[in-house]
Amino acid sequence: MRRLTQFSTALGLFAIAAMAYAGPPVEGAMEKQATNWHAIIMFCIFVALTMGITYWASSRTKSTADFYTAGGGITGFQNGMAIAGDYMSAATLLGLTAMVYTQGYDGYIYMLAFFAGWPIILFLMAERLRNLGQFTFSDITAYRLDQGKVRTMAAISSLTVVCFYLIAQMVGAGQLIKLLFGLEYNVAIFAVGILMMVYVTFGGMVATTWVQIIKAGMLLCGGTLVMVLAFSHFGFSFQTLLEQATAVHKLGPKLMYPGSLLADPVTAISLGLGLMFGTAGLPHILMRFFTVTDAKAARKSVLVASGLVAYFFNVIFIMGLCGIIIVGQNPDFFEAGQVGGKLIGGGNMVAMHLSSAVGGNMLLGFLAAVAFATILAVVSGLALAGASAISHDLYARVIKKGQATEAAEIRVSRIATICLGFVAIFLGILFEKQNIAFMVGLAFGVAAAANFPVLILSMYWRGLTTRGALFGGYGGLVSAVLFVLFSKSVWVDVLGNPAALFPYTQPALFAMPIAFLLAYIFSKTDTSVRAGKEIEAFEDQYVRAQTGFGAAGASKH
């Protein structure tokens, strides 16, 4: 019966995909493009393939462990690919290429900051995460603390991060499909939201992981191909490329200097902190550490993931620089043929135009399909992380106090996924005009301030008590969100107020110390009996963190 519903849903989705090219033209839209059949065919192949996987995965998704963590049976290499896939979102491909295109070297600094968190995660967190956690990172923060209160806190901050990140992905999806299919933005957003719901509700983590792996492979191949073709225009000489790029770019020689994005020291440091420790606080990335058999595989997955991420960031850097000359000097890519004016499809479309310039419609089609697949995959990962915060943390552990049956828990997570799908659609429509790489930066800032401090303290500091964790977690969350709300990007640009209340755009430098400080003060002053027991319980947790003895799933596989 379930398979039947599933099939009919899948059919419905094909109908939506079909609408994508048969749909009505957008009224007077300048961005409307000639229908790109290559892109549509390749995208349909991707959707068909991933639907097939979802169908196969649904038959293997029976227990909660299957649903949340693919039964812990993903290998280190596969998981590394999936982590890289989760991490290299459409915002990375589109947003960072665009950032290099407009800001030059600043984009490269951004990328190093995105990357530098990985070694730290490996050295200080990966094995402890795997050894202590089961399904969500709240398993670790709540390990020896008050389950109900700490999990509620962790779930709320997870959901906040997931929502911020979803905005970036959905906006990217809408713009991309609008450009490619001439579809209305809102319709595109709905298509992404609904496809995601199908992957996650039916296939759980098994399907989400495989969608992610396939997409990571496609992204790496597609990106590399575009980079090689574009770079060949300059004889593969970085010297020639930069000479030409600085000659034509409006920043001139300043292109290769740290510039306006990092104009003041506070922003630069805050961004560095936010991106580095934000990575270590993203719920959908942390969740991936529970899909592997043991700490050994967890480490290997970080090695694979960080290698792929580092490689791909350098590919993007070269793509962005090539774009300055190949896209930036070609009137075909500008509205009304005005070089230096507005790019067709918006600022984030540099990578797409570049692929079309160097490889024609075929390559554009492929890269567009990849970008769309990327969005789908990342959105699915996010939705799964959000849904597990709701079902595993809030429903099963807080509301039902661990008494929920597995079937009920899975059912709740499916319902949660569908709700999150609609939230994503709503937010995507609301934030249509925002720069997407920037939105990702905000998600990282909140993750760094709300999730990371309590998580790292719970693993390393025996003195952490429930009271400290709650004050630290909520303090970090509230301050990060308020800093973002009062900054120029929301207070002025979205809400239309005349001046920002908080002068910086990046919250991490201010919100992270608040979280750590509150956690410290309120743990230290906590003299309750329970606090004493919690501190005592650190000893056993510590041995398990170090040895992995008693870790979830370790014996079954």
Partner 1 sequence: MSSAMYERMRANPKFQELVTRRGRYAWTLAFIVLSMFYGFVMVVAFNPVALGQPVSEGSMWTVGVVVELFMFVFFWVLTALYVRRANSEFDALTQEIVKEAWKENK
Closest distance of CB 247 from partner 1, Å: 11
Closest separation between CB of residue 116 and partner 1, Å?
Answer: 5
For residue 253, what are its two tokens? 């020689």
CB neighbourhood size of 529 (10 A): 7
Query: What is the nearest approach in angstroms of partner 1 to the Cβ of residue 120?
Result: 6
- What is the C-alpha to C-alpha distance for residues 132 and 286, in angstroms, rounded to an integer? 12
| Nearest distance, CB of residue 303 and partner 1, angstroms | 5
Tell me the closest approach of the beta carbon of residue 186 to partner 1, in angstroms.
39
Report the alpha-carbon angle 387-123-91, nearest 5.
Answer: 45
**Which C-beta is closer to partner 1: that of 99 or that of 192?**
99
Instruction: Report DSSP letters for 233-301, one per residue.
Output: TTTT-HHHHHHHHHHHSTTGGGGGS--GGG-SHHHHHHHHHHHHHHHTT-HHHHHGGGSBSSHHHHHHH
Minimum Å gap between C-beta 151 and partner 1 is: 22
Between 259 and 463, name the residue whose CB sits nearer to partner 1. Answer: 259
Of 84, 324, 59, give the one whose Cα is nearest residue 203. 59
CA distance 234 to 221: 21
Q: Which is nearer to partner 1, 111 or 377 (CB)?
A: 111
- What is the identity of the amino acid at 142? A
Q: Which is nearer to partner 1, 188 or 309 (CB)?
A: 309
Instruction: Supply the minimum distance, in Å, between the C-beta of residue 263 and partner 1.
Output: 9
Q: Which two tokens stand for residue 374?
A: 């990327």
Distance of alpha carbon 59 from alpha carbon 275, whole angstroms: 38
Distance (Å, rounded) from C-alpha 44 to C-alpha 369? 9
Residue closer to partner 1 by CB (options 21, 105) is 105
Tell me the closest approach of the beta carbon of residue 93 to partner 1, in angstroms: 18
Question: Between the CA of residue 456 and those of 40, 259, 469, 536, 551, what are the distances in Å?
Answer: 45, 33, 11, 18, 18
Q: Compare residues 116 and 521 and give the one whose CB is closer to partner 1.
A: 116
Residue among 68 and 277 whose Cβ is closer to partner 1? 277
Q: Report d(CA 133, CA 140) in Å as an integer.
A: 5
Q: Which amino acid is at 395?
A: Y
User: Residue 178 to residues 216, 250, 299: CA-CA distances in angstroms?
Assistant: 23, 28, 40
Q: Which of 176, 174, 179, 182 is nearest to 20 (CA)?
A: 182
Of 281, 274, 282, the residue nearest 506 (C-alpha): 274
In the complex, least distance from residue 177 CB atom to partner 1, rounded to whole angstroms: 32
Rank residues 20 and 509 by Cβ distance to partner 1 and give the closer one.
509
SS3 471: helix
Containing 365, the helix (H) or strand (E) segment is helix 350-388
Residues 6+ apart with CB under 8 A from 378: 85, 86, 89, 90, 169, 212, 284
Burial class of residue 498, CB neighbours in 10 A (0-12, 13-18, 19+): exposed
| Chain contacts with partner 1 (rule: CB under 8 A) | 105, 108-109, 112-113, 115-116, 118-120, 122-124, 127, 238-239, 241-243, 246, 253-254, 256-259, 262, 264-266, 268-269, 272, 276, 295-296, 299-300, 302-303, 306-307, 310, 313-314, 539-540, 543-544, 546-550
Query: Phi and psi at residue 554, in whole multiples of 5°?
Result: -65, -30
For partner 1, which is the closer residue by CB, 285 or 377?
285
Radius of gyration of the chain (CA): 23
Minimum CB distance to partner 1 smaller for 44 or for 310:
310
Q: Are 392 and 409 in contact (CB under 8 A)?
A: yes
Considering the complex, state which of residue 39 and residue 261 has its C-beta at the smaller distance from partner 1.
Answer: 261
Smallest gap from residue 408 Cβ to partner 1 (A): 28
Cβ closest to partner 1, residue 16 vs residue 120? 120
Provide the minimum distance between the beta carbon of 473 and partner 1 in the complex, in angstroms, as a whole number: 23
User: How near is the Cβ of 107 to partner 1 at its closest, in Å?
Assistant: 11
